[in-house]
């Protein structure tokens, strides 16, 4: 009985720690809604770029400018075959900022950009 209780506590600790790391990975934004939004089937070979409401651009949790984004995406494209960019933009961000990030990714050679949206 004691080994089973130990195992339950170990699993509990594992899931608490794992869920905590999952929450730390993203910058909080209000994702827009779309009629034809779908859940992506593939999660590998992606790099996440987030644009907050104040138009700060993040790669992971680090704020970056467009030149840094271009360099980061270019390096990731060299390292990962079939790189996809997962672009998360707050619903209040101007389209010009999203377009500038898309242009920087395209100049770095990223061919596929996936947008985050909630299904209405």
Q: Is residue 21 part of a domain?
A: no
Task: Using pLDDT thresholds of 50, 70 and 90, give the confidence band for residue 53.
Answer: very high
Name the DSSP letter for residue 32.
Answer: P
pLDDT at residue 25 above 70? no
Q: State pTM to two decimals.
A: 0.72
How many domains does the chain fold into?
1
Q: Is residue 71 part of a domain?
A: yes
Q: Is residue 9 part of a domain?
A: no
The pLDDT of residue 52: 93
Task: Using pLDDT thresholds of 50, 70 and 90, give the confidence band for residue 17.
Answer: confident
Q: Is residue 8 part of a domain?
A: no
Q: Is residue 47 part of a domain?
A: yes
Q: Is residue 95 part of a domain?
A: yes
Alpha carbon distance 30, 17 (integer Å) = 25
Q: Provide the domain limits for residue 71.
A: 29-119
CATH of the domain at 94: 3.30.420.270
């Amino acid at each position: 009985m004691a080994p089973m209780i130990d195992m339950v506590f170990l699993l509990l600790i594992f899931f608490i720690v794992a869920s905590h790391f999952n929450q730390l990975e993203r910058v909080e934004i209000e994702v827009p809604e779309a009629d034809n939004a779908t859940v992506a089937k593939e999660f590998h070979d992606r790099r996440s770029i987030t644009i907050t409401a104040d138009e700060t651009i993040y790669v992971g949790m680090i704020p970056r400018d467009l030149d840094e984004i271009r360099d980061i995406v270019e390096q990731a494209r060299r390292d990962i075959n079939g790189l996809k960019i997962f672009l998360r933009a707050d619903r209040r961000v101007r389209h010009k900022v999203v377009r500038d990030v898309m242009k920087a990714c395209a100049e770095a050679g990223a061919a596929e950009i996936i947008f985050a949206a909630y299904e209405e």
